[in-house]
Amino acid sequence: MRWQGRRGSANIEDRRGQGARIGRGGVQVGGFGLLAIVLIGWFLGVDVTPILNGAGGGQIVQTDGGAPRELSDAEKQAGEFVSVTLADTEEVWTDIFQRNGMTYTPATLVLFSQVTPSACGNASGATGPFYCPIDGKVYLDTAFFATMQRELGAGGDFAFAYVVAHEVAHHVQDELGILKKSMDARQRSSAEDSNRISVMTELQADCLSGVWAKAAEGKFGSLDRGDIAEALNAAEKIGDDTLMRNAGRVPMPESFTHGTSEQRQHWFAQGYDSGDMNSCDTFSARDL
């Protein structure tokens, strides 16, 4: 991915390097964050059910205590990469919304280290990136990129860009009113139906990520040979069925919340091949 030397976003809130004081509270996660915390629970044999159910016992961070630190060169580079990727999403979605007679309001992306507060509860390095619809912000600890590469075998700069694009896609869903409808429907549904709605929501975000990738390729000429393969590999590695098998568990489709590896790859490719967000209606699809 050709990103060096290009414009970064003004909608970055960098909290890395700030001191932090930790207390008690609750945790809420979403997007890639839910997958990450489940994966960690499987790997370590930890029961993460209380966290996934929104129970207490988490942590609240106040950034008015502790000693600030200097960011490493790797952290600085990761921040620049995320900033450029975010800027690309802003330009792409502004164009797409305008073509459809709408106005796009960009999300703010919060960079943090280890743990930071959000309007949805705590953002933690252990829970991975997620989008909070309450404050319209994406939360990302760039150390998650290293986790993707080392633990999941999903390395590469465009795989990391896919992570950012996926969370921004949840903001796009929020802007379109889709995310609220999805969340409301889940609250009224049984556990199994709620999971099914979650899968459709996540697969649509994958498809919208593919739409962004196609537009970025044409608008910026930023994709290199092999970049789409990196994104598809990442989609394969984070499928619910693959995560369960890698954790030594039997895949249980009724418990899936993000979709299988095949589904995630299919919907990213659907968005990329079509370049049209109207092709991403997973909620009306007869076969996911």
For 116-156, the pLDDT digits (tens) are 898 988 888 777 789 999 999 999 998 888 888 888 888 88
Segments making up each domain of the chain, as ranges: 12-280
pLDDT at 19: 53
Strands 108-111 and 137-140: parallel
d(CA 211, CA 257): 22
d(CA 70, CA 76): 10
Contact assessment for residue 148 and residue 157, using Cβ atoms and an 8 Å cutoff = no
Contact assessment for residue 35 and residue 114, using Cβ atoms and an 8 Å cutoff = no
pLDDT at 13: 94
Q: What is the pTM of this model?
A: 0.84
User: Which residues, including other chains, have CB under 8 Å from residue 190's CB and lie 6 or more apart?
Assistant: none
Run means of pLDDT, 10 residues per run, the chain, 288 residues? 89 81 41 46 35 39 56 89 96 97 96 89 80 94 87 90 96 96 93 94 97 96 92 93 90 92 97 96 93
Strands (E), the chain: 12-14, 21-26, 56-62, 108-111, 115-118, 121-124, 130-132, 137-140
pLDDT at 70: 83
User: Which residues, including other chains, have CB under 8 Å from residue 62's CB and lie 6 or more apart?
Assistant: 20, 21, 22, 23, 117
